[in-house]
Amino acid sequence: MIHSMSTDLIQRLRLAGYKITPPRLAVLEVIQREGEHLNPQEILEQAQMIHAQTGRATVYRTLELLTQLGIVRPIYVGDNGPTYIRADGAHHHLVCSRCGRIVEFDACDADSMGCELETRFGFRITSHLLEFYGICPQCQATDASCSAETMADLPD
Amino acid sequence: MIHSMSTDLIQRLRLAGYKITPPRLAVLEVIQREGEHLNPQEILEQAQMIHAQTGRATVYRTLELLTQLGIVRPIYVGDNGPTYIRADGAHHHLVCSRCGRIVEFDACDADSMGCELETRFGFRITSHLLEFYGICPQCQATDASCSAETMADLPD
DNA sequence: CTCTTTAATGAGAATTATTCTCATTTGCTC
DNA sequence: GAGCAAATGAGAATAATTCTCATTAAAGAG
């Protein structure tokens, strides 16, 4: 099997006592490559391009395993099901409660807080998620007036 | 129907053009009362104590509605399904990737960031969620050594 | 207070997502 | 390369959520 993947991650799997198998490599590869917001179905499809026989159950099992190992983690955005992302790195979202619109931002003070929390609770912190919830400008405009747009939001 | 609930919320429903019905009042009451981390099944059960005929589909429909209105929002903790909380107020978690342990903390710099983001993106922000992911002290201890505890985490 | 309109409801069917089962395969160690 | 247990794939089973539709009832008009 050809794989151009971080030997480091493979080592982590091996050291934790797990076998290095084609489906696991495929899932790992997919998540490393895309990095963002793939749901189990999409991960299955992409993994099958790498290792055609990959089964759905194995994808779920692998995602659970990689989550346990702190390599990936599920993230819930809007009202979709879970998607998986690399467990390192931070995520910052503004989420509109009304329409579900998501805006990303960077710049975040959380890292310094993270350090403090590491000391305080003894966690070894690898990443964070900071989400603000509210109403986006567009939806505010809609709410404010009693125009046709407003009507569109009322029950049919 | 007897309900000792925030007239304010009822007004918001009414103003948005929705009818005030017993199941909606029941769900609203349950979420107001408990406030935290109830899943749809639990909300159904508790709502039925208030209004016995409440149906499951209606609970889902009401949760969707209340989410749209920014009154509640779903939150995903660990690998359980969604639970619903009041949309106001902040939530701060330390989540262990390995064992799923959750520690709550308060004190959070996010509010000032929230103000800045309101200006920058025009959102009207009502709450936030800040989660740090990492490995809890217990799991670190397990990882570090090659003791019996470590064995327990390896594949059977 | 009664009537009318139409949103909302409950029951259960249908769908979708996830987990489980088990016979078979395959990494890994020696 | 032989042995062993972990890992796998297929599909069954389960759980969670959404949809359908006939019926009910909330809200406004008169």
Same domain assignment for residues B20 and B73: yes
Give the residue from B57, B53, B62, B61 showing the smallest Cα distance to B30: B62
Minimum mean pLDDT range among A13-22, A99-108, A147-156, B125-134:
A147-156
Q: Within the 82-101 window of chain B, which residues sit less than 8 Å (CB to CB) from chain A?
A: 82, 87, 94, 96-98
Same domain assignment for residues A2 and A76: yes
Q: Which of B46, B61, B87 is the last residue of a domain?
A: B87
Same domain assignment for residues B51 and B109: no
- Burial zone of B41 (CB within 10 Å; 0-12 exposed, 13-18 middle, 19+ buried): exposed
Q: Which residues of B touch A136 (CB under 8 A)?
A: 121-123
Inter-chain contact B135–A70, Cβ cutoff 8 Å? yes
In whole angstroms, D27 C1' to B127 CA is: 33
Same domain assignment for residues B64 and B96: no
Minimum mean pLDDT range among A125-129, B19-23, B27-31:
A125-129
Q: Which of B63, B87, B111 is the last residue of a domain?
A: B87
Residue A120: what pLDDT? 92
Instruction: Write the DSSP assignment of A96-131 as a string of letters.
Output: ETTT--EEE----THHHHHHHHHHHH--EEEEEEEE
Cβ within 7 Å of nucleic strand C, residues: A 14, 19-22, 39-41, 56-57, 60, 64, 81-82, 155-156; B 18-19, 21-24, 51, 53-58, 61-62, 79
* Distance from C-alpha of B70 to C-alpha of B45, rounded to nearest angstrom: 23
Inter-chain contact B124–A134, Cβ cutoff 8 Å? yes
Same domain assignment for residues B65 and B1: yes
Asked if the model's pLDDT at residue A16 lies above 50, the reply is: yes
- Residue of B15 and B156 predicted with greater confidence: B15
Neighbours of A92 (CB within 10 A): 18
Q: What is the CATH number of the domain that holds B99?
A: 3.30.1490.190
Inter-chain contact B127–A140, Cβ cutoff 8 Å? no
Same domain assignment for residues B143 and B115: yes
Q: Which residues of B touch A106 (CB under 8 A)?
A: none
Q: Within the 111-150 window of chain B, which residues sit less than 8 Å (CB to CB) from chain A?
A: 113-114, 117-118, 120-137, 140
DSSP state of B44: H
Asked if the model's pLDDT at residue B100 lies above 70, the reply is: yes
Residue A100 binned pLDDT confidence (cut-offs 50, 70, 90):
confident
Same domain assignment for residues A61 and A105: no
Q: Which of A65, A87, A109 is the last residue of a domain?
A: A87
Q: What is the CATH number of the domain that holds A38?
A: 1.10.10.10
* Cβ atoms of A86 and A38 closer than 8 Å: no
Same domain assignment for residues B133 and B143: yes
Residue B122 binned pLDDT confidence (cut-offs 50, 70, 90):
very high
Same domain assignment for residues B16 and B46: yes
Same domain assignment for residues B79 and B27: yes
β-pair type (B102-104, B91-96): antiparallel
| Tally of domains in chain B | 2
Q: What is the mean pLDDT of residues B92-102?
A: 86
- Phi, psi torsion values for B127, nearest 5 degrees: -165, 175
Residue B112: what pLDDT? 86
In whole angstroms, C4 C1' to A129 CA is: 52
Residue A48: what pLDDT? 96
Same domain assignment for residues A95 and A68: no
Q: Which domain holds residue A63?
A: 1-87
Kindly compute the dihedral angle of the four CA atoms of residues A130, A77, B137, B142, in this order, to the nearest 10 degrees: -150
- Burial zone of B152 (CB within 10 Å; 0-12 exposed, 13-18 middle, 19+ buried): exposed
Instruction: Write the DSSP assignment of B86-131 as a string of letters.
Output: ESSS-EEEEEETTT--EEE----THHHHHHHHHHHH--EEEEEEEE
Amino acid identity for residue B145 in this structure: S
Give the residue from chain A lying closest to B127, CA to CA.
Answer: A133
B15's tokens: 């103003």
* Distance from C-alpha of B142 to C-alpha of A129, rounded to nearest angstrom: 26
3-state secondary structure of B32: helix
* Distance from C-alpha of B36 to C-alpha of B29, rounded to nearest angstrom: 12
Same domain assignment for residues B58 and B9: yes
